[in-house]
Structure 1
């Protein structure tokens, strides 16, 4: 008899009960727990489900002869993690009488802890308790993660084919072991699955999140100074206002041109905003007037192919680019509203008492984009009685995280420290209006009948508006034209270049960073395509000859000699984007100086790819990201360079020989703070010459 009981316990068919005795499962039917995402074929009224909620509601088939189809773990992870993004509260909740607790204790369903030493085990215990009045079957559990760092330990191996029965009041423990070999953030999701009695009951799933954090003392110094406060979308109600204009900055132009060419306003029609909200698709929410306009805008309703989908030609050029620019402006208005500030204080500028300083987190990353001469609107937060006085401030200077503003004398004289304001950013429509006007003057230049050669700048805008006659310049050069959108590029051409005699030279790389725009609709229909790339794609003059495989050097010059990169760095882009034509011309001695550095994984390959599990964070009200784990790795490499320089044939380094590239202003700030705090690195003379940005 003891042998039988041992066998039953081994296969989860029996277990010891609290207070003595043995509980034996005696159900006459054998329950097979199949893939919970797959609906039985005879349930035709329900389609296949792709969510954990549907999975939890699907009754398991009771047929003994059916073959169980177990869900692959990767698919399970994908489905559960997707559901967590859409219905986290439901998955985290205890249900069906099952209560899951943990040691360490979870907060809002998440177990978070810090590991002080690498390569040491850390234990997380999950206790599963049946507080219901009926038995429940524990059918499956798994740690859903991408990296094998979380082995699971349990008394018995619980599977859908061999579940574990929990009587009322009984509990079971699952242990998760963490062993970390590197610093960083290591999240995982624990998935638990249950099926209550009687047979055919709905399957239940409960999820718990975990995160192990391993960090150095440096990370403590770089952690967020305050919790991040994301922008809260405000509801703007129409109010009566009184506008008080500010003081614009003095013009920096050496010669002042009188504006002789009137610039139109080019406002987008009101109906287009309604269409853009519905992505240019028909909707029952559209008014009859807007629906009628849809037929003249939507690419699906105009033959052949519609305005936005048809081939770009002279007859539709201006109309199409007008529409794309309107769509872009509509999105820009939405985006800039997200940067508005509330209950914000200003300070009086020390150098010029007539200016006020406003802190604008993210301005260095163009979030929002603010330039000299732009205007902001502010009102006192305490003002609630209409009409509300709104002061317009002109931007005199833009700094890393602040702007200097010129307001009216009324506000400057009455300004008091700690006075709070509501700040509204506005779009500078002048460049947009210039792009609209340029469309009407370019057909003969951009669609030539014979051979011809084909970034927006403030001097160019002044020249065009100042009445400089067409043909005044014999050549127009546009540098970095691959990064300029077509409307931006043609501003430099419209009204200045003679269609037959003038020479337009576009210099740039269509394989590198292209134009940056906000509107997904404008990008979808071609605004993200530069003039340089479009001409090389669509115009035979700028394509390679099929027989010779070369460009016509009268129209295209391709630079092939690379003086910047090692062969290992150049190899991949050369093969993927430049038809393997680029040639390494970097100085041999300089590019081979660290080929034998002992820290290289492969001495024949002078590039290190260092993967890590970091966490992108933000702090206070700054929209800029930083990643402390990346900074820890960076400092580690700098220390290695410092320790090995001038040894074993490795030349000495100066701080100016090192460049650190990151796109985020907050990451730059944190890196510079870290460099100052590391004593070894401060032994380098002129550490401030180490370039970060």
Structure 2
């Protein structure tokens, strides 16, 4: 139900606000598509003595890959074959009457308007449909369906054809449907071989586990309570056969989780974290492996091959634990992940019995269960308890207005800034001044939209505090990459006796920048464990939020800076804040309009997907924009407004949608880059053709996404092909030596890990391994001269009942914002307009490209009222659909 008591239409998946909803064009359109898909299997059958046969007209004796799959006629051609056929494929259609009486063909039509398919009759129907075609018994009526396109790129096109019939006595009328699918493919495997996956969702029951031989200092202080496991398993929702105790517990938990307050802070987060842990464990169990074999390495280490490891499905890191058993045995052995390779993991510290078993018979089939690490959960649980116990939690709930005493003890002249660009930027300068001269202990927020110099501001403030005070400074971020970037900038003004970058011993050593190693807990290429007392000499400590929990209660900084704070969940941020005494300083830097913390849906519902920074900016008046003045209260928050990254055209849509139009594009680099003025798509077709372009470009693809087996990760082969074509075209652009496009200047962003993997492989095969390819998450905080976005989700059938496209990447504001704001000079989006137009953000982008004349590729019919009414009209001829609609 909606907030106003409205119900949801099961066809449109939208709220019904009035009684006339069923008569709206929108509802009738979605009902028509639902009914067509419901009865499609029946409609493709020949019946009542009428046969509808399809052949392909051959030209120049070309061999076609042409087949009939249950009424769907699929033809595959290369772009070159299509070009030699004048860009036209002709399907020869024959209606044969095997009845004893004549039959009338009352209508033939494709079921929706199309730029590509046409029907050709030698004997045309009358305009008023009063002229029917009569087919005598035993006779055949021929006509043609032609497919024509001037877009010779890899794509697929699908459309249904309907033929309506009526008997002479008017007692029966019926419809037969055929679907045409034309696939244009060049050196690309459209159907991939599906291999059996070793992953199962089989839970392990009644299994005794022999512990690992590795000693661990961690103890579980906050395990999931046994009496709550059933409730957490069901996502804190009611379920069948609940006991009275379960119902009472559920009522109490729901009452606690109504609103987050300082009074229920720790209990609230304990339950939400247990919910998240239970959900993650359940998801991980989907990767349980059955009937696999292992190899022995170095006498006591087992080598396990894990499909999907490169895609982090499952996500396995050094330090995780894995359980192993003989297939279906009730005794398991816990091992330690000591190394993660591209396709294998190495498991050590196993009981010698299981190692000996594998050594004696390597063909022995094993079952594998991946175990969820609990260290991060334990540290979050402990942190929220500490904040409540010390009273620090009240500082995370500022209410009302506060009078702030202004301190001018550290008034900086322009010559005193470490980075001279800061003193020329009013917003950055203001933020540094307020942080350096802070007189309150509420969190200070640096609101840093893309490309506004958030990290530069943060580093300047840290260095000024280091120079002008005796405070000890802790610098954290959720991810290693952000910590590395901060440490690299700070080390330019710090000795390795003042600054330390602490890494986890489970981190991959090659991922650490070489110039940071002398500032790190690394000696002779080995990680050294740092004791809390060893931190005392350092003025600045840099590490991740989870890792700093190792020092809780033993290390007390005077101020904490948390970068990318909008990406961390509130309990994760609490790990660092819990190190502070009351009255100490917290600075949060980030952008709540970009990607937030990841959480399972049930925990996300209770706020685990919202960062502390976002909650403060949403719920607390002192952090909110004053709509009357258009400003924030600089005593508590500074918004950085000058964007030094992106071309104005790239910035225009996110600025309008997410930042109230307050961002000001200032990138001189982007404006003078000649690549802005060149459209890339035309050069793919004709390398010598230079067409005027802009910073934004859209390439329309007609295709269909795929999945391999039961994998949840989608990929799109035709978009992969187009990404490669764009990279080749960019590489071949003649822009002069200073502006020649290098592979490392190109980034490819795509939402699905399977697409990432396949694009990487395709680019590597073509010699472009230096092009960076990653998910939206991996590009947060990054920038590239050129960004290509492959949106993946597509559908070449415009009659699919497409409410399913209310999906993550298309509908997710923060992912859209991150994806489109990575580019400096050129942003190219490759996608399927019918899917993308289900969301206004992508619609705005495509419309912007149309305005600039940089909308290229396949043409799709506009999904407007006229199109919808035409689909309703054409499909209402179906007796099944018409009857169902009238019945409704």
Q: TM-score, normalised by structure 1?
A: 0.72
Q: Does 1:263 align with 2:249?
A: no
CA distance in structure 1 between the partners assigned to 2:748 and 2:594 by the alignment: 20
Contact 2:545 2:572 in 1 (8 A): no
Contact 2:646 2:670 in 1 (8 A): no
The 5-angstrom pairing of residues 421-460 of structure 1 reads: 421-442=366-387, 443-448=393-398, 452-454=441-443, 455=477
CA distance in structure 1 between the partners assigned to 2:764 and 2:549 by the alignment: 49
Quote the residue 2:334 is aligned against.
392
Q: Does 1:612 align with 2:601?
A: no
Q: Does 1:518 align with 2:600?
A: yes
* 1:210-235 CA distance string (max 9 Å, x none): 32111223x25xx5662265788655
CA distance in structure 2 between the partners assigned to 1:456 and 1:655 by the alignment: 29
SS of equivalent residue, structure 1 residue 405: strand
Of 624, 643, 658, which residue of structure 2 is paired with 1:543?
A: 624
Q: Does 1:654 align with 2:599?
A: no
- Change in CA separation of 1:657 and 1:456 when aligned onto 2, cut-off 3 Å: closer
Of 101, 106, 111, which residue of structure 1 is paired with 2:68?
A: 106
Contact 2:203 2:285 in 1 (8 A): no
* 1:266-318 CA distance string (max 9 Å, x none): 33614414653xx836x7665555455554455xxxxxxx554x443223333
Quote the residue 2:160 is aligned against.
190
Cα deviation for residue 361 of structure 1 reads: 3.0
CA distance in structure 2 between the partners assigned to 1:369 and 1:555 by the alignment: 38
Quote the residue 2:571 is aligned against.
487
CA distance in structure 2 between the partners assigned to 1:188 and 1:88 by the alignment: 14
Computing the radius of gyration over CA atoms, which structure comes out larger, 1 or 2? 1
* 1:328-356 CA distance string (max 9 Å, x none): 3343233223223333333445xx55333
Q: TM-score, normalised by structure 2?
A: 0.58
- Change in CA separation of 1:548 and 1:341 when aligned onto 2, cut-off 3 Å: same
Q: Does 1:316 align with 2:264?
A: yes
Bigger CA drift: 74-83 or 367-376?
74-83
CA distance in structure 2 between the partners assigned to 1:408 and 1:651 by the alignment: 59
CA distance in structure 2 between the partners assigned to 1:128 and 1:122 by the alignment: 20
Contact 2:73 2:181 in 1 (8 A): yes
Quote the residue 2:19 is aligned against.
none
The 5-angstrom pairing of residues 537-686 of structure 1 reads: 537-545=618-626, 547-588=628-669, 591-597=672-678, 599=680, 603=692, 605-619=694-708, 624-646=713-735, 651-675=739-763, 677-678=765-766
Quote the residue 1:122 is aligned against.
89
Contact 1:365 1:665 in 2 (8 A): yes
CA distance in structure 1 between the partners assigned to 2:11 and 2:101 by the alignment: 29
SS of equivalent residue, structure 2 residue 715: coil
- Give the alignment's Cα RMSD to 1 decimal: 4.2
Contact 1:102 1:127 in 2 (8 A): yes
Greater helix proportion: 2
Q: Does 1:280 align with 2:237?
A: yes
Cα deviation for residue 655 of structure 1 reads: 3.1
SS of equivalent residue, structure 2 residue 727: helix
Quote the residue 2:431 is aligned against.
none
Cα deviation for residue 151 of structure 1 reads: 1.3
Larger RCO, structures 1/2 (Cα 8 Å, 6+ apart):
2
- Change in CA separation of 1:525 and 1:244 when aligned onto 2, cut-off 3 Å: closer
Q: Which runs of 5+ in 2 are unaligned?
A: 1-8, 13-22, 56-65, 388-392, 403-439, 444-476, 480-503, 505-543, 683-690, 775-888
Of 359, 363, 368, which residue of structure 1 is paired with 2:309?
A: 363
Of 139, 146, 149, which residue of structure 2 is paired with 1:177?
A: 146
Contact 2:164 2:174 in 1 (8 A): yes
Contact 2:210 2:334 in 1 (8 A): yes
- Change in CA separation of 1:655 and 1:82 when aligned onto 2, cut-off 3 Å: same
CA distance in structure 2 between the partners assigned to 1:330 and 1:550 by the alignment: 43
Quote the residue 1:409 is aligned against.
352
* 1:185-223 CA distance string (max 9 Å, x none): 324242536577698978655544332111223x25xx5
- Change in CA separation of 1:417 and 1:624 when aligned onto 2, cut-off 3 Å: farther
CA distance in structure 2 between the partners assigned to 1:102 and 1:689 by the alignment: 47
CA distance in structure 2 between the partners assigned to 1:534 and 1:582 by the alignment: 22
Quote the residue 2:326 is aligned against.
380
SS of equivalent residue, structure 2 residue 639: coil
Q: Does 1:153 align with 2:120?
A: yes
Contact 1:145 1:187 in 2 (8 A): no
Of 272, 275, 281, which residue of structure 2 is paired with 1:333?
A: 281
CA distance in structure 1 between the partners assigned to 2:233 and 2:680 by the alignment: 58
CA distance in structure 1 between the partners assigned to 2:321 and 2:442 by the alignment: 38
- Change in CA separation of 1:669 and 1:501 when aligned onto 2, cut-off 3 Å: same
SS of equivalent residue, structure 2 residue 637: coil
Contact 2:677 2:694 in 1 (8 A): no
Cα deviation for residue 509 of structure 1 reads: 0.7
CA distance in structure 2 between the partners assigned to 1:49 and 1:96 by the alignment: 34
* 1:16-38 CA distance string (max 9 Å, x none): xxxxxxxxxxxxxxxxxxxxxxx
Quote the residue 1:209 is aligned against.
179
- Change in CA separation of 1:655 and 1:49 when aligned onto 2, cut-off 3 Å: closer
Q: Does 1:344 align with 2:292?
A: yes
Contact 2:673 2:739 in 1 (8 A): no
Q: Which runs of 5+ in 1 are unaligned?
A: 1-47, 52-69, 252-257, 299-305
- Change in CA separation of 1:229 and 1:138 when aligned onto 2, cut-off 3 Å: farther
SS of equivalent residue, structure 1 residue 574: helix
- Change in CA separation of 1:286 and 1:397 when aligned onto 2, cut-off 3 Å: same
* 1:56-96 CA distance string (max 9 Å, x none): xxxxxxxxxxxxxx998x98874465357667644544555
CA distance in structure 2 between the partners assigned to 1:676 and 1:343 by the alignment: 33
CA distance in structure 2 between the partners assigned to 1:490 and 1:603 by the alignment: 52
